Structure 1
Amino acid sequence: MNITKAKALCRSFPGATEDTKWGADLVFSVGEKMFAVTALEDKAKGISFKVDDDRFLELTDRPGIIPAPYLARAKWVYIEDLKSISDAEAGDLLKRSYELVFAKLTKKLQREIQG
């Protein structure tokens, strides 16, 4: 998985914003709700994002993917070995993370983001 491509994909989603939290983390959000977190620097070693409840155990059973620190209870995973996942699969998972978070926004906010 290429972290630069992952960041570019996160930036491309409708209504996606990014900001720095906790001093060194780049956080991607929609409607002020996080859907992905990685390190600020380009040489980030991993990325965290939300997954479907039924995929959480499947993904965290794979080498290189662990429950995300502090966010595992909300079904977030952390890709600690970027080689453990292809760009295509990472793209699908990041898109799904965005969709899961977007779906929890108010209908009014969803309409505003969709324009």
Structure 2
Amino acid sequence: MSLYLRDGFDAGLAALPGVTFVDQWEAHIAKVGGKVFCLLSDAAPHRLVFKCGEDSFDILTSLDGVAQAAYFAKRKWVSVEAGSELREADLLAYITRSHGLVAAGLTKKLRVELGIL
């Protein structure tokens, strides 16, 4: 199931601890502890937007179909178009890392409540 479709997006990300989904900003958004870690655009062409580390940001933005995310790039967020060079398994690994990066910024109390160690 494709991460670029709502059902695949939900199925792929729901396994991560503390994840909730909301619809806002013309997108389907995955949050952890109330903080965005990934979004799926509603409009075609579908895109995934997620946070990444500095080294990953440089690597990812050099690939076809991957760009700095509008409004988020300063904070190392990327936008990945459907049909990019990234395979689904790689996308899911980067999104899982995004979840971890955002979750690390939550309070220890909240991380414990959400089951994030």
Matched, 1:11 2:9: no
**Structure 2 segments unaligned to the other structure (5+ residues):** none
Identity of aligned residues (%): 32
TM-score (norm 1): 0.88
Using the alignment, how far apart are the partners of 2:9 and 2:88 within structure 1? Answer: 8
Deviation at 1:44, TM superposition (A): 5.9
Regions of 4+ moved over 6 Å: none
Paired position in structure 1 for 2:41: 39
Whether the 8 Å CA contact 2:49–2:79 is kept in 1: the answer is yes
Q: How does 1:15-34 map to 2 (within 5 A)?
A: 15-22=18-25, 24-34=26-36
Matched, 1:69 2:70: yes
More helix by share: 1
1:45-81 superposed Cα distances (whole Å, 9 cap, x missing partner): 1110001112111110111100011000110000024
CA contact (8 A) 1:46 1:82 kept: no
Equivalence map 1:48-59=2 (5 Å): 48-59=49-60
Aligned-residue offset at 1:83: 3.9
2 CA distance for matches of 1:7 and 1:48?
A: 14
Pairwise CA RMSD: 2.0
| TM-score normalised by structure 2 residue count | 0.86
